[in-house]
């Protein structure tokens, strides 16, 4: 486990490396981010953005998406994989937001988790990016980096990673920190290999220090 002092240093190093922190999913309204993050499961954000461009062109409002059939939605979202289940969730999600929340994406964690296809990762993304609340989005990049840096040890459980990071991250930095983990995880701390010699965290990261010491 890293200390709060360690964590602040890590946060600052990532901020210097990635001054602009933003979600890589393309959206203009809260419900569109909700749709995009559901489609992103087992799919790249780049592909999701291609698919949602067509989806949002055909269904430009939450009301129009709710009025579509799961089959019509599936015909568009199929390239994201798991088309049938994702389409079913989007249909159910759109109708629940329309009919139970007055057409407004809810803010409370318990309400977001009621929506079809929404787990803690999706709910935290919505709470952080839409409502500006402290939120830890424990996606694959965040989980991988949390293990390598030393926030957790040998766990892929997103809830464990979320809880560990909540304990040490400054609340106001938590959402941006997770976006920077995605950016860093795609180009430096990759799933295939940690490029420690290129990493801005190499002097403080558990894996980086071991790798450089071995060389």
Q: Which residues are catalytic, by number?
A: 121, 139
Burial (CB < 10 A; 0-12, 13-18, 19+), residue 70, is middle
CA-CA distances (angstroms) from residue 72 to 2, 21, 203? 48, 34, 51
Q: Is 179 exposed, middle or buried (0-12, 13-18, 19+ CB in 10 A)?
A: buried
Residue 194: phi and psi, rounded to 5, are: -85, 115
Return the C-alpha torsion angle 115, 120, 123, 127, nearest 10: 150
């Amino acid at each position: 486990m890293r200390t709060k002092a360690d964590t602040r240093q890590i946060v600052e190093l990532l901020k210097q490396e990635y001054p602009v922190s933003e979600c890589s999913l393309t959206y203009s309204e809260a419900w569109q981010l909700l749709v995009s993050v559901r489609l992103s499961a087992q799919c790249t954000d780049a592909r999701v953005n291609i698919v949602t461009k067509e989806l949002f062109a055909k269904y430009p409002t939450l009301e129009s998406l709710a009025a579509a059939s799961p089959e019509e939605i599936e015909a568009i979202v199929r390239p994201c994989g798991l088309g049938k289940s994702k389409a079913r969730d989007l249909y159910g999600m759109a109708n629940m937001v329309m009919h139970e929340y007055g057409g407004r994406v809810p803010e409370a964690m318990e309400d977001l988790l009621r929506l079809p296809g929404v787990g803690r990762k999706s709910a935290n993304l919505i709470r952080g990016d839409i409502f500006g609340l402290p939120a830890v989005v424990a996606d694959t990049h965040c989980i991988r980096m949390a293990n390598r840096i030393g926030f957790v040890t040998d766990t892929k459980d997103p809830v464990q990673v979320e809880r560990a990071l909540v304990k040490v991250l400054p609340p106001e930095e938590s959402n941006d920190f997770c976006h920077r983990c995605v950016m860093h995880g795609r180009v430096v701390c990759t799933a295939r290999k940690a490029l420690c010699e290129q990493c801005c965290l190499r002097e403080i990261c558990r894996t980086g220090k071991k790798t450089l010491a071995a060389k």
